[in-house]
Structure 1
Amino acid sequence: MARYTGPVCRLCRRERTKLFLKGERCMTQKCPMSENTDRQIRTFPPGQHGASRQRQGSEYLTQLREKQKARRIYGVLEAQFRNLYEEASRRPGSRGPEGQDSDQLERDT
């Protein structure tokens, strides 16, 4: 199984929320998303044009960002995430956030 091995703090900045991908470091002042840091808080997304280009969010963009956030929290790539989603949607019963979280967390361990 492939994994993303690049800078994960960049992913938190892209989603504009803490994803807790680095464990304990996300709780300290060294985290770039931490508000109690002495350094300047980078509230803009990463990339060359992240600070200068602010887009008005469409419905598609909102849904895509939520999907990407879930993918990054669970640490799976697109094909794996799609397979997990299709398998969960085929199962009978309610698939609220509690059910999806427990099913996916069991697969991660």
Structure 2
Amino acid sequence: MQKIGLISMKAASLLFCLLFPMHVFARNIGEDCTYEGIRLFGRVQVVTGFADIDVQKKDALADLDVRFVNAFPDACGEWQLVDSFPDFTVRFVDSFPDITIKKVHAFAGVR
């Protein structure tokens, strides 16, 4: 009886280990630096509602390293903050983000 319980417990933990990381660590950002067709560089407007992308700031292990620039945001992860005519909008959230970012001063882009 204990053997069957131990085997089923091992099988359940193996199944959990195989399925859980796929969901939690799934990359949301494509290799072409896009999220659902939105290029993750350019002119960005921060809004409080109805954003194109929900973003969470992190200090480590983020999906995207972002460098805030004043002009020419033409490389992956370079964002120019604007008040009008954005390429896309973001909303900063504390939980359930679409992507996570880390602010950097150099070497922006997908990890």
Q: Same fold (TM over 0.5)?
A: no
Give 1 or 2 for the bigger CA radius of gyration. 2
More strand per residue: 2
More helix per residue: 1
TM-score normalised per structure 1: 0.24
